[in-house]
Amino acid sequence: MARIGVLTGGGDCPGLNAVIRAVVRKGVADGHELVGYRYGWAGLLERDAEPLTVESTKGILPRGGTILGSSRTNPYKKDGGGTEAVRAGMAAFDVDVLVPIGGEDTLGVAARLAADGVPVVGVPKTIDNDLKGTDYTFGFQTAVQIATDAVDRLHTTAESHNRVMVLEVMGRHAGFIAAHAGMAGGGDVILVPERPFDIEVVCDHLRRRHAHGRTFSIVVVSEGAVPQEGTLTTSGEAGRLDAFGHERLGGIAVTLESEIERRTGYETRMTILGHVQRGGTPTAFDRVLATRFGVAAAEAVTAQQSGVMVALRGTDIVTVPISEALGDPKTLDDKFFADAEVFFG
Ligand code: F6P
């Protein structure tokens, strides 16, 4: 029997509650007790936690967000933080093993703790799908569905007004959300961080469509997309960093709106989808993936594994060293983008 401390760190993601529920259900069935730390690593440093029981996690499977709250707290960057402070936060609630649910930053902390001898089983999450070590993360499919719905809605109003619509989606430095939603929604141009774009080529695609009689177009752009060097000056959120040193992205659609309109003469409007992509209920796929991750995490605790995270490989849930998820992010492969490009212009 172990006392398991669960926490959710980083940006929230549809499916977090499904993981929490599953860890609790399987953990209790295997004879463990569970505690939930509030607001990620902050809960350990501030000794802020609550018991997690089958009763207290009832009804949360379809709920977006996280009942535990989340934050981008880095325990190694806080005064009085570090491994010993985390250990003290565990001891305060008699916790033996941690199950942190998070992205690269949260898992980076988890790996460091494991290296210092703290028992840890990680659960990978991000809507961006940019974590190595797992084929997919839960939350991604929900974000893609929301973005695809947005493309569909923009299509009808674009057609009514003969406009170019630019939709900016999340994804940080990976173009998975843009490429998937763009392909699913039939976008006419898709811009991703992996392929710096030439604004003139973008405009040529749109001109070609119009030359073939189409009077509207949809451009799906990832928040991390960048122009080829020296081709375009962009504004945006540049320079603002979070606790893990990541730049805040967003705003490329503003530049694209004005540049496309100026260069082509086509009336253009932009939409930045933003955190809508992270809100609300997870899709069935993400609920299932999150549930299987949660069950597997509890099983890994029972098997006294540490320094591992659960992962999807093909259709199987496995455990892999947390280190597999760290380092460079996973990015869109060339073939996927080439398939999407078939439909440009
Ligand atoms: O990593 C998930 C993500 O939603 C990114 O797609 C986005 O760039 C970032 O988090 C936004 O972070 P925040 O919620 O701190 O604005």
Same domain, 178 and 67: no
Query: 188 an active-site residue?
Result: no
- Do residue 37 and residue 50 come from a single domain? yes
How far is the centre of ligand 1, averaged over its atoms, from the C-alpha of 11 (Å)?
6
Domain around 160: 141-279
Is residue 179 one of the residues assigned to a domain?
yes
Separation between Cα atoms, residue 340 and residue 337, nearest integer Å: 5
pLDDT attached to residue 241: 85
Looking at residues 251-280, what average pLDDT do you find? 98
Confirm or reject: Cβ of 11 under 6 Å from ligand 1: yes
Measured from the Cβ of residue 47, the count of other Cβ atoms closer than 10 Å reads: 13
pLDDT per position as a tens digit, 293-324:
999 999 999 999 999 999 999 999 999 999 99
Q: How confident is the model at residue 244, as a pLDDT? A: 86
13 and 126: one domain? Answer: yes
Helix-strand-coil split of the chain, %, nearest 5 = 40, 20, 45
What is the model's pLDDT at position 104? 96
- 97 and 180 belong to one structural domain: no
In a domain, 341, yes or no: no
Phi-psi category of 47—alpha, beta or left, where left has phi over 0 and alpha has psi -120 to 50? left
Residue 344 lies in a domain: no
pTM of the model: 0.96
The CATH number given to whatever domain includes residue 96 is 3.40.50.450
Please check whether residues 217 and 288 belong to one and the same domain: no
Supply the residue whose CA is at minimum distance from atom 11 of ligand 1.
11
Q: For residue 253, report the distance from its CA to the centre of ligand 1, in Å.
A: 16
In a domain, 275, yes or no: yes
* Number of domains forming the structure of the chain: 2
Q: What integer is the mean pLDDT of 280-292?
A: 98
Average pLDDT, the chain: 96
Does the pLDDT at position 69 exceed 90?
Answer: yes
Residue 338 in any domain: the answer is no
Whether 15 has a pLDDT exceeding 80, the answer reads yes
Check whether residue 274 and residue 294 sit in a common domain: no
Question: What is the pLDDT at residue 238?
Answer: 62
237: confidence class by pLDDT, cuts 50, 70, 90: low
- The single residue of 12, 48, 79, 128 carrying the catalytic annotation is 128
Which of 244, 260, 279 represents a domain boundary (last residue)?
279
Q: Is the dihedral of CA 90, 52, 303, 306 positive or negative?
A: negative
Q: What is the pLDDT of residue 233?
A: 84
Ligand 1 closest atom vs CA 223: 8
Q: Per-residue pLDDT averaged across 168-177, rounded?
A: 98
Q: Are 299 and 319 in contact (CB under 8 A)?
A: no
Question: 236 pLDDT band (50/70/90 cuts)?
Answer: low
**Ligand 1 lined by 329 (C-beta under 6 Å):** no
Q: At what angle do helices 252-264 and 199-211 cross, to 10 degrees?
A: 50
* CA 266 to ligand 1 center in whole angstroms: 31
Same domain? For 104 and 229 the reply is no
Q: Is 249 in the pocket of ligand 1 (CB under 6 A)?
A: yes
Q: What angle do CA 52, 54, 55 make, to 5 degrees?
A: 90
CB 199 within 8 A of CB 250: no
Is 252 near ligand 1, meaning CB less than 6 Å away? Answer: no
* 308 and 238 share one domain: no
Q: What confidence tier does 245 reach under pLDDT thresholds 50, 70, 90?
A: confident
Instruction: Indicate if ligand 1 lies below 6 Å from the C-beta of 125.
Output: no
In this structure, the answer to whether residues 33 and 82 fall within a common structural domain is: yes
Query: Given this model, what pLDDT does residue 137 score?
Result: 98
Domain identity same for 40 and 64: yes
Residues 132 and 159 both lie in one domain: no
Same domain, 112 and 128: yes
